[in-house]
Amino acid sequence: MKKNDNFRITNLGDPKIISPIHLSKTIGDSIFNFVEDTDRILADVKLKNLHSSLEHDVIPDSYERSGPREKIFFKGENTTAAIVTCGGLCPGINNVIRSLVMALHYFYGVKRIVGIPYGYEGLNPEVGHDFIELTPDKVKDIHEFGGTILGSSRGGQDVSVMVDTLVNNKIDILFAIGGDGTLKGANAIGTEILNRGLKIAVTGIPKTIDNDIDIIDKSFGFETSFDVACPIVRDAHNEADGAYNGMAIVKLMGRDSGFIAASTALSMPVVNFVLVPEMDFELEGENGFLENLKKRLNSKKHAVIVVAEGAGQHLFKNDEATTDASGNIQHKDIGILLKEKIKAYFDAIDMKTTIKYIDPSYIIRSAPANANDSLYCNHLAYHAVHGAMAGKTNFVVASVNNRFVYLPIADVTKKRKKINMEGGFWFGALQSTGQPFSMK
Amino acid sequence: MKKNDNFRITNLGDPKIISPIHLSKTIGDSIFNFVEDTDRILADVKLKNLHSSLEHDVIPDSYERSGPREKIFFKGENTTAAIVTCGGLCPGINNVIRSLVMALHYFYGVKRIVGIPYGYEGLNPEVGHDFIELTPDKVKDIHEFGGTILGSSRGGQDVSVMVDTLVNNKIDILFAIGGDGTLKGANAIGTEILNRGLKIAVTGIPKTIDNDIDIIDKSFGFETSFDVACPIVRDAHNEADGAYNGMAIVKLMGRDSGFIAASTALSMPVVNFVLVPEMDFELEGENGFLENLKKRLNSKKHAVIVVAEGAGQHLFKNDEATTDASGNIQHKDIGILLKEKIKAYFDAIDMKTTIKYIDPSYIIRSAPANANDSLYCNHLAYHAVHGAMAGKTNFVVASVNNRFVYLPIADVTKKRKKINMEGGFWFGALQSTGQPFSMK
Amino acid sequence: MKKNDNFRITNLGDPKIISPIHLSKTIGDSIFNFVEDTDRILADVKLKNLHSSLEHDVIPDSYERSGPREKIFFKGENTTAAIVTCGGLCPGINNVIRSLVMALHYFYGVKRIVGIPYGYEGLNPEVGHDFIELTPDKVKDIHEFGGTILGSSRGGQDVSVMVDTLVNNKIDILFAIGGDGTLKGANAIGTEILNRGLKIAVTGIPKTIDNDIDIIDKSFGFETSFDVACPIVRDAHNEADGAYNGMAIVKLMGRDSGFIAASTALSMPVVNFVLVPEMDFELEGENGFLENLKKRLNSKKHAVIVVAEGAGQHLFKNDEATTDASGNIQHKDIGILLKEKIKAYFDAIDMKTTIKYIDPSYIIRSAPANANDSLYCNHLAYHAVHGAMAGKTNFVVASVNNRFVYLPIADVTKKRKKINMEGGFWFGALQSTGQPFSMK
Amino acid sequence: MKKNDNFRITNLGDPKIISPIHLSKTIGDSIFNFVEDTDRILADVKLKNLHSSLEHDVIPDSYERSGPREKIFFKGENTTAAIVTCGGLCPGINNVIRSLVMALHYFYGVKRIVGIPYGYEGLNPEVGHDFIELTPDKVKDIHEFGGTILGSSRGGQDVSVMVDTLVNNKIDILFAIGGDGTLKGANAIGTEILNRGLKIAVTGIPKTIDNDIDIIDKSFGFETSFDVACPIVRDAHNEADGAYNGMAIVKLMGRDSGFIAASTALSMPVVNFVLVPEMDFELEGENGFLENLKKRLNSKKHAVIVVAEGAGQHLFKNDEATTDASGNIQHKDIGILLKEKIKAYFDAIDMKTTIKYIDPSYIIRSAPANANDSLYCNHLAYHAVHGAMAGKTNFVVASVNNRFVYLPIADVTKKRKKINMEGGFWFGALQSTGQPFSMK
């Protein structure tokens, strides 16, 4: 069969140091075994696709299993690690920071760990933020709080300057916690490092509350986000139901991908309509959203609408969109537009309504992680440390098909993950809300 | 001493029916005693004021103690009660409804209880909403939910029409759950009833999330409101702290009275500034808010600001205020104004900042009641039922000086309760935030 | 390659009825496609194991993908469905009941849905519980509450009697929500039905708070269980830390599988020791638990211990174990034993300690489902309905490798799922607690 | 009228130092006014009792209003303060510690603040715990956590030794946070100090989750305790309702006073029976608890019972009670006894039941304070600091009739506050549960 070199992780060099972690290579001794670079997880779990691969004599795609390696690249006592957090807040950042510090310190005896303040800005000496020394004692309680103790910022910095800063501060490993832009930045830093022939590992931990990083099962903080959204939506229903022809519009995060909105709708059955960026819909027309909304009001006298921030962008004129410092398109507020359009529509037909608009975005993203996200953050941090100490670079750690793997950053940033409008997840959301497949 | 006739409750007539509740008149038998109309609670607990009263030979003001009377006015098996909920949502409304129904049904055997749908609108037959039959089975779980199962609306209806509706539907007791406007409406209904010589009792249960009903210790739902606000503010601090010179502005309810904002500031010490309607402050100037804010940023690099919706109205031009259907002045959004002014100020001095604006009002007011509010709601409902069954009318039930009393509606709606800028509560808030006494 | 007939689902007959659900068979039209019985998901995602399969010319194991079929077996308007809930409480049962009812009613127009009260007991006419009619209106809010509105019981009933009851009540589909024992019972019922040549579908929805059903990713309610446990453990740490040499022991569910205990330890880093049934450990001895505990106290003056109810059963004499009505082994209370042994050990060496023992089991299992479990419950219920309506029987619905599949009941009840002591999950828990690989 | 010298606070001496707090003595300038020692609050708010006082020409009892004094006794820059926390955990201790530190540091410039570790033990040098330096930075986040960062212990130490320790460490003010025993201890320390002619102020902040300190409105943490208990009881109802003739028994704190149990019952209407220490009841007999329980099961098939830990002690033989290190009577477990007696009773009449017993005590007392308790803790701490800095000693701070006052420790420890079985609060609980006035 043809060899398949997809999804290969770059190494800084040959790992020659014996890991200080006391594991085993024997099966059946109840002690975890070192993971080998050749342990791989299938990318595609559909039997039909496997058959198709085999027919073409191609080994199917697979990902490198993450975990502690028997031989590592960095000697802990000589190693300095740095952690940077970029972009918007997301539940679980502090959990990741905490577990990175604990794993570096206790598993590998890494002597110095520094926090880069306020995102990539902190790697620009001209901005002049001071590094933050991170110790187990400093971080031991931070998982109880949302936000990031390191501070964050949006936008990039000159890659060459950032690499200089790493070199000047004798940093051996950089952990970058962030979304699409951050990871692309990390990849650029890591590539520059390789080009310069330096031995600094760059590791990404995907942080995107929108859950829009490609390939991976989920990003940390995502489950918390709809866990926090659900009681808000439950109570928004009280606002809708408490008025005659009452409506509540809840805007949730999701620039290009509506996972939070759709998950909330699927968790919380009071939602009657969910609008996501992946979805093509019209307000007007016989089968448009407004007509469907009217039917709902006529039958039940209230309606709850969940809308992702990036939904319905076609309803704005093109010239209205701008870009933020991270390069994300800044959408006009679809929630406010919806409220205005709904009001105008029902006013025009003399139907008395009450509309409440709720935007809990900052409340959600600044919350502490729930238990399952905390667990996930810990796993991610441990795996990131094991990979980085082994000298791997330009990689992210993530769960795929329920297994933890290392993936090249370049592979997960090729495109954004979106809801498949023809897939089972979206079908589930439609089944839960009862809204039609198409509103146009 | 001179007699004091203040705060006397009106009775529909002489209560002659023996209460079906089996209580006692004996002290020391471990059975609750019937309350007498002459049991009264002192209005003012300051010793100096008592001395002053006595010097003038005046019996000090007092309020009638609430509770079950030995003789009642209405015979349960012949009685129909109605419940109406008006104005904005507030945690605990369903708890009150539930306990009114339970008390009417189980304590007094009231045969029929109806819910008036969508506020006073439901008493206008032209609008055409149907009454909702309320039974123990129907209401048994509603306390778990925020909102009101009866629906609500703002604004009044013609008093004469409403009284006609009560008469036409043979309603003997009306419980009106609502704020200042609702209670004034209830008083008007009750007065019209007395003028017509009818025997219908009208009882108010003060519902005002702003806690601005005069005389009373607190209104139900108020404690829940800042209980819900606190974690939101805690996490808003993460937003502020997560950015260099980051600020979070949280707008909370409080049209004319800043109790929620100040209580939140006093509960949650991450708050650095609290702005309330009672407070006179300036943005500009050497000791203005913006200068104080700059000092805070310079020393700590972040700030959390809690602002009541009615604060800083002098910053708007007069012509911008409008009135809602309940007659409440509709304020311009102080939160948005603050955000703009802060941004402009720091932009002008080239200080890079990040400002997050959070408005959780609908999230707070639609939440279910916490435990202490649930307890309070139950007490209020029981006392309201005891008073109404005894034939009292045009009264509210409330806690004053930690005791439950009946108060004439007219007395509690004379003026709004406001934070005393010279009192201990506000001083506590200032001590907690560290902000100066005056910012102007 | 050799055919592989493992994990095949039994059908009651040829599905000939056109599904009332309007889906598509076209890729790319943004409408969900009907799922075919031949769509299958790989069981094993390890590349090495795939290579090994292929070397032996064996098609690897796979599972049938779940979802709506184009042709179904039951015509909704003629169909009666029944739902039964058995065994202990678990977060999410009401969510499953709710979504089964909604899917049966709205997707397939099933006319009658009945709830079997109090578990399999309700299928024994001699016990004499009445069926509960289930309608959308009846179930619409039940997801807000933990527990089961149908009631539950442990233990089986005569299979033949139960099948008679289904026949006598003209029930076409039985949904059984329960754990290992319940599912075995459902399989026995389904097998008896097939043996009698009847056309009644039997579907299981695995409910096991211990997460011990084999093959599947997770059972519903499991994530909620450690979500509820985490703040309890966080606060147990306050009890430990609040006393000199203070210890808190928290006992969590887990008869044979320690998933809840280990997940809690991995989510909540205050845990210093986690003891699970899968683990071989000794109290005494140089590397025993007690000696490790002493080391911890000497260095930090407090310790938090999480123990699964089934851990350390070797510490009891064999004759002390009994069996409950579901056939589960009733363990002696390891928490109380631990407390006694710890106290005795430190008393013997004159070390003053304080031990708090906390058993939150009933608090956890009776809680409502969190958001992610609610979402999962909805998916499970929808898939269960689609499968049952298609005439499949003796199957469960579950997520495997992050995809929803149908599995023969017989395959998931062959053995209990346990924590792999040599796997990454347990290694994660050890990394989080810092406890040694072995304590004996 | 006759002078009334009750409830007078002792002063260490004449306060001569000008307070560093910039307040006002002018009414109407929107700046809080210094409080004078002669500002007093009436103890009794009943009009009838006032009349009775006046008839006897007696000035009614009153309490000294708390707050900042214009002249103080201690100069901050020369002052060392110490904080000690004793007895069991209670929500809010850390809030009090935090606000004491903040007020001492920021309001009065107190230079050194130390934490006494592990209760009064920490004042015994032979035990050898080290003091903990408390600074604003050290305590700024501790209010987010339950427990006490200082640690606690039960039991007293030799008063003379403790005073020696205060003297040797040059401590000027001692804040003792604790319940009845702790306050008596504080009073003994304060009295010894006065006897020795020393100038050390001793201040108590009443901490009793049972809410059993006499005179005062409520103790901090009490409201949180039933706020935490309520969802546990709500879900215990799921356990009861989920089984045929299912019962759930929830044991709550309350050694001698059943305030938590009764408040929970009054907040959470699923409770059918509440048993408190103040209540005289029998298990057996025609109107006994068991017979009433049977009636409930026969009509509703489930029951929820809340029992205070100190209830029903007459059901144990006298010799079974012991005393803990704080001198509290250690009760036998009434919850377990009830479970056994209930089981035996229904077994004897062949009625099949299921009983779940839940003891959430440690979960409740170790929880963080809710918002209203946080607010209350802050007020208490501020007032305690103002009083201590003014040189007052042997006093507690508390709210009475909704106003903050200083009370002599000796007056609040004369007897425990108990529920008045003939009062409105207990009547409310009975109305909510529907249980009879008497069960014997």
| pLDDT value at D438 more than 70 | yes
Q: Which residue has tokens 């604006």? A: B357
Q: Could you tell me if D279 and D428 lie in one domain?
A: yes
* Amino acid B330: pLDDT: 62
Amino acid at A401: N
Distance of residue A429 Cα from the nearest chain C Cα, in angstroms: 9
CB atoms within 10 A of CB B24: 15
The two structure tokens encoding residue A259: 């996972």
3-state secondary structure of B341: helix
Mean pLDDT of the A182-204 span: 98
Q: What is the pLDDT of residues B6-59, one digit of tens each?
A: 999 999 999 999 999 999 999 999 999 999 999 999 999 999 999 999 899 999
* Amino acid D435: pLDDT: 95
Mean pLDDT of the B223-245 span: 98
Q: What is the pLDDT of residues A215-236, one digit of tens each?
A: 999 999 999 999 999 999 999 9
| pLDDT value at A326 more than 80 | no
Which of A45, A106, A230 minimises the CB distance to C45?
Answer: A45
CB contact under 8 A, B244 and A151: yes
* Amino acid B155: pLDDT: 87
Q: Could you tell me if B133 and B241 lie in one domain?
A: no
Distance of residue B264 Cα from the nearest chain A Cα, in angstroms: 16
Q: Quote the crossing angle between the two packed helices C259-267 and A371-389, to the nearest 10°.
A: 70
Q: What are the catalytic residues of D?
A: 210
* Amino acid A240: pLDDT: 98
Q: Which residue of A has its CA nearest to C381?
A: A428
Q: Could you tell me if A188 and A211 lie in one domain?
A: yes
Name the average pLDDT for chain B. 95
Q: Could you tell me if D343 and D374 lie in one domain?
A: no
CB contact under 8 A, A152 and B242: yes
Distance of CA C375 to the CA centre of its chain: 15
B144 touches chain C (CB under 8 A): yes
Q: Which domain holds residue C229?
A: 222-366+421-433
Among residues C233, C231, C243, C357, which one has the least CA distance to residue C300? C243
Query: d(Cα C381, Cα A428) in Å, to the nearest integer?
Result: 10
Which of A118, A147, A244 minimises the CB distance to B151?
Answer: A244
CB contact under 8 A, B422 and D28: yes
Residues in chain B: 440
The two structure tokens encoding residue A154: 């949006």
D75 touches chain B (CB under 8 A): no
* Amino acid A318: pLDDT: 62
Query: d(Cα B50, Cα B58) in Å, to the nearest integer?
Result: 9
Distance of residue B69 Cα from the nearest chain C Cα, in angstroms: 38
* Amino acid C150: pLDDT: 98
* Amino acid A320: pLDDT: 56
Q: What CATH number has the domain bearing residue A144?
A: 3.40.50.450
Q: What are the catalytic residues of A?
A: 210
Residues C290 and C283 sit within 8 Å (Cβ to Cβ):
yes
Asked if residue A26 belongs to a domain, the reply is: no
Residues C365 and D358 sit within 8 Å (Cβ to Cβ):
no
* Amino acid B332: pLDDT: 78
Number of domains in chain A: 2
Give alpha helix (H) positions in A42-197.
47-55, 93-102, 136-139, 159-168, 180-195
* Amino acid C128: pLDDT: 87
Q: Which residue of A has its CA nearest to C45?
A: A42
Let me know if B333 is a catalytic residue. no
The two structure tokens encoding residue C373: 């479990």
B363 touches chain A (CB under 8 A): yes
Q: What CATH number has the domain bearing residue B230?
A: 3.40.50.460
A40 touches chain C (CB under 8 A): yes
* Amino acid A392: pLDDT: 98
Task: Let me know the angle formed at the C-alpha of D82 by D77 and D86, rounded to the nearest 5 degrees.
Answer: 165
Cα-Cα end-to-end distance for chain D: 48
Give B321's pLDDT tier (boundaries 50, 70, 90).
Answer: low
Q: Among A339-343, C119-123, D22-26, D138-142, which is the least confidently predicted range?
A: D22-26
Q: Could you tell me if A332 and A259 lie in one domain?
A: yes
CB contact under 8 A, D437 and B263: no
Give D2's pLDDT tier (boundaries 50, 70, 90).
Answer: confident
Q: Are strands D403-408 and D62-65 parallel, antiparallel or unpaired?
A: antiparallel
* Amino acid A2: pLDDT: 82
Q: Which residue of C has its CA nearest to B145?
A: C144
Asked if residue B272 belongs to a domain, the reply is: yes
Q: Could you tell me if C205 and C98 lie in one domain?
A: yes
Chains that touch D (3 or more CB pairs under 8 A): A, B, C
Give C327's pLDDT tier (boundaries 50, 70, 90).
Answer: low
Q: Could you tell me if C280 and C343 lie in one domain?
A: yes
Asked if residue B124 belongs to a domain, the reply is: yes
Asked if residue B384 belongs to a domain, the reply is: yes
Amino acid at C244: Y
Residues A123 and B276 sit within 8 Å (Cβ to Cβ):
no
| pLDDT value at C329 more than 80 | no
Query: d(Cα A376, Cα C432) in Å, to the nearest integer?
Result: 12
Asked if residue D23 belongs to a domain, the reply is: no
CB contacts of A145 in chain D (<8 Å) are 141, 144
CB contact under 8 A, B372 and D67: no
Q: Could you tell me if B238 and B332 lie in one domain?
A: yes
Q: Could you tell me if A233 and A216 lie in one domain?
A: no
Asked if residue C26 belongs to a domain, the reply is: no
Q: Could you tell me if D75 and D186 lie in one domain?
A: yes
* Amino acid A158: pLDDT: 97
Query: d(Cα C46, Cα A43) in Å, to the nearest integer?
Result: 10
Name the average pLDDT for chain C. 95
Q: Quote the crossing angle between the two packed helices C180-195 and C159-168, to the nearest 10°.
A: 70
3-state secondary structure of B166: helix
Q: What is the pLDDT of residues D250-279, one digit of tens each?
A: 999 999 999 999 999 999 999 999 999 999
Q: Which residue has tokens 């977060």? A: C91
Q: Could you tell me if D102 and D81 lie in one domain?
A: yes
| pLDDT value at B161 more than 60 | yes
CB contacts of C138 in chain B (<8 Å) are none
Q: Of all residues in chain D, what percent carry a pLDDT higher than 90?
A: 93
Which runs of E-coded beta strand occur in C191-339?
201-206, 246-252, 273-275, 302-308, 322-323, 329-330
Mean pLDDT of the C281-307 span: 97
Distance of CA B223 to the CA centre of its chain: 10
Whole-angstrom CA distances from B169 to B73, B82, B172, B193, D379 are 19, 10, 9, 14, 51
Asked if residue A362 belongs to a domain, the reply is: yes
Query: d(Cα A54, Cα D420) in Å, to the nearest integer?
Result: 82
Which of B148, B235, B236 minimises the CB distance to A242?
Answer: B148
Side by side, the strands of the sheet bearing B302-308 are B273-275, B302-308, B246-252, B354-358
Q: Could you tell me if A240 and A360 lie in one domain?
A: yes
DSSP 8-state class, residue B204: E
Query: d(Cα A372, Cα A353) in Å, to the nearest integer?
Result: 40
Q: Tell me chain D's radius of gyration from C-alpha atoms.
A: 24
Asked if residue D439 belongs to a domain, the reply is: no
Q: Are strands C392-393 and C10-11 parallel, antiparallel or unpaired?
A: antiparallel
Which of D102, D372, D438 minimises the CB distance to B223?
Answer: D372
3-state secondary structure of D280: coil
Query: d(Cα C396, Cα A29) in Å, to the nearest integer?
Result: 34
CB contacts of C141 in chain B (<8 Å) are 141, 145
